[in-house]
A and B are shown apart, each in its own frame.
Chain A
Amino acid sequence: MNTVPQAAPAPIATRPTMIEFRDVHKYYGDYHALRGINATIKAGEFFSLLGPSGCGKTTLLRTIAGFEDISSGAVLIDGKHMADVPANVRPTNMVFQSYAIFPHLTVEQNVGFGLRREGGTTAEKAKRVEEALEMVGLKGYGKRAAHALSGGQRQRVALARALILKPKVLLLDEPLSALDKKMREQMQVELIRLQRQVGITFILVTHDQEEALVMSDRIAVMFEGQIAQLADPETLYRRPNSRQVANFIGVMNFLPARVLTEAAGRIAIDVQGLGQTEIDATQAPGVITGGETSVGFRPETLTMLYEGQTTTERETPGTIEEVVYYGDMTYYDVRLDGVDSPVRISMRNVFGRPVLDIGTRTRVAWSAGALVLFR
């Protein structure tokens, strides 16, 4: 493994642009699959397109690869318009959801497939194949028949085959969805390591929010052919700009709220059950849609206080309605006094403190800084 300490990569914002979408639209007949995509992806970035199935994330990825034409707008790779550039000459390579390993060829022939068109001697090509296999941890597998490999190994062959051509951009279409949980988590870590090692822009399509959070520098959350929010994982998780995004990424509690006053970057609100409090304007990242106003907060931002425990935060009384035990964690659904529906609280299980029963009266500590305002 490569153990040479690496300098911290330059911040995303200062890096040169690798991919640019300019008002990209795509129609399939009457169906409007992409509805005005505007985004830039930076060089060397690990970028994810996240969304439910049918949101257009795979279509968007395929417009980069050149497998889909766009109806209007422009896709630029490294500053060049891609309108008339077919997929086989674009500086991108793809890892397919099904891996698309050529079943009639050996591992070696699969990995070296893209080298057919390149110059160089047979020995040089063999060396490059060997290096690529070593990079993905499949040294010595070259002579095997590709169809005899396990799912994880196929995945690695697909990676080696795509990376051997040193593309400017590697496109990954739900590459981990066919693997079991353990294997998936292992491959997530390996993909991150690989991306740092080769320094290529990776663009990942996934419907798994956890996968996107773990792996990405930035994530574009897509719904119905549009990017709903584009941000780094922490911002997405802590400051989602809509209820839809908040619901898609992790668990979010919502309580009805009312805006009282708004001045000098501070917003005074009245929240059902929690009462009056004041938040910073940055805690309302979304645009005002005119819908029902509510505040959201993550389960882990609440703490249940046990008998006699005091807090410097605000506290609200409530009753436990449901208990779900997960081993390291316990989820409690607590109905706060004066609130219509219960909120979910996640508590790390601590040795010596018993899991509480349904029906127990409790006090919940919370702080205004963890709230997000949607309106």
Chain B
Amino acid sequence: MKGQGLRLYAILYLVFLYAPIVLLPIFAFNDATIISFPLRGFTTKWFAALAELPTLHQALKNSLIIAVSSSVLATTLGIFASRASTRYEFPGKGGLMGLIMLPLVLPEVIVAMSLLMVLLGIGVDLAIWTVILGHTLICTPFAIAILSAAFQSLDKSLEEAAYDLGESKLSTFRLITLPLVMPGIISSLLISFTISLDEFIIAFFLAGSEPTLPVYIYSQLRFPKQIPAIMALGTILVALSVLLLTIAEYFRRRGLKKTGAKDTGGFL
């Protein structure tokens, strides 16, 4: 049959992609310390166990602070850079934008190492804010890529019209530009948040005594009896991600509907 091979390929691909994630909740509710079939019975004790791990709570708190801060920072910097690169011509623009986008392809371990050397060299104590610095660095190119597309599709004469009708440059930005690129800003915040939340290498190098969630999870894998609890944690994270993306997509579609723009696909 025509297309049968392609269909099989698609199914296998999806299984490979999602089967491990489906295993997370299965073992999170399994009443056994060993991660293997057959299942032993239903329990919620691993979720209860999460509540009694103060180091986990600290790591989660660190991760959230870092993810929120670096996504806001990266998006703010991204707005400035994309706006400048889509609206204005200035000498060295190509090279400058290239340098800003470079961390996108630079091996993270090199970025992390060089940041560590510089920070130690100038005698800075490693802390949450050093991780925020590193994450902002790697999130900014993603923010710019998303926001440039948003600014690019914004008709220049909309801003000129508002200015022509008596608004200042600043109020034009607030009343016209910002609402119209808002879907891009939300996408950028979300992507940056997600990247920062599960980033390991930079967090591992720069966190000092303040581990983030991925660093904490990695450290716990050495203790077999902690693994079911990690599964429970993973289940919660998957559920939260799905919820977050659903909310974001809802707002994106509502924004599109409100401005009558054409749907050019999701933000991911």
Contact = CB atoms under 8 A, between A and B. Distances in A.
Interface of A: 65, 67, 87-89, 92-94, 96-98, 100, 102-104, 113-114, 116-117, 145-148, 161-162, 165
Contact of A97 (B157, B176, B179): B157
Interface string B156-195: 0110111111111000000010011000000000000000
Contact of B179 (A67, A104, A145): A104
A116 B180 contact: no
B160 A103 contact: no
A94 B164 contact: yes
Contacts of B155: 98, 100
A59 to B, nearest CB: 14
Interface stretch (B58-66, B95-103, B256-264): B256-264
A326 B20 CA distance: 72
Contacts of B259: 103-104, 147
A88 B172 CA distance: 11
Contacts of B161: 94, 96, 100, 102, 161
For the complex of A and B, 6 pairs with smallest distance between CB atoms: A147-B260, A114-B165, A100-B161, A103-B259, A100-B157, A96-B157
Contact of A117 (B167, B176, B260): B167
Contacts of A67: 160, 164
B258 A104 contact: yes
Interface string B139-169: 0000000000000000101101111111110
12 contacts: A67-B164, A88-B167, A96-B160, A96-B161, A100-B158, A100-B161, A103-B260, A104-B258, A114-B166, A147-B261, A148-B260, A165-B165
Nearest to B159: A100
A94 B157 CA distance: 10
B157 A93 contact: no
Nearest to A148: B260
Sorting the interface of chain B by its residue count into under 10, 10 to 19, 20 to 34 or 35 or more gives 10 to 19
A148 B179 CA distance: 18
A102 B261 CA distance: 12
Interface of B: 155, 157-158, 160-168, 176, 179-180, 258-261
A98 B157 contact: yes
Nearest to A90: B164
Given A96-B160, A97-B157, A100-B160, A116 B167 contact: yes
Contact of B164 (A88, A97, A103, A147): A88
A93 B261 CA distance: 26
A114 B175 CA distance: 12
A100 B161 CA distance: 7
A375 B259 CA distance: 57
Contacts of A92: 164
A116 B157 contact: no
Given A97-B157, A100-B155, A100-B158, A113 B165 contact: yes
A103 B165 contact: no
B158, B161, B163, B165 pick with most chain A CB within 10 angstroms: B165
Given A98-B155, A103-B259, A88 B163 contact: yes
A118 B166 CA distance: 9
A116 B166 CA distance: 9
A93 B167 CA distance: 12
Contacts of A165: 165-166
Contacts of A161: 161, 165
A87 B164 contact: yes
Contacts of B176: 102
Contacts of A148: 260
A6 to B, nearest CB: 29
Nearest to B259: A103
A117 to B, nearest CB: 5
Of the listed residues A88, A116, A145, the one surrounded by the most CB atoms of chain B closer than 10 A to its CB is A88
A274 to B, nearest CB: 51
Given A96-B157, A100-B155, A103-B180, A145 B164 contact: no
Nearest to B260: A147
Contacts of B157: 96-98, 100
Contacts of B166: 88-89, 114, 116-117, 165
Contacts of A100: 155, 157-158, 160-161
Nearest to B179: A104
B168 A88 contact: yes
Given A102-B158, A162-B165, 4 more contacts: A100-B161, A102-B176, A104-B179, A104-B258
A87 B161 CA distance: 10
Nearest to B161: A100
A161 B164 CA distance: 11
A89 B163 CA distance: 9
A165 B165 CA distance: 8
B165 A93 contact: yes
A104 B182 CA distance: 11
B164 A93 contact: yes
A127 to B, nearest CB: 19
A5 to B, nearest CB: 34
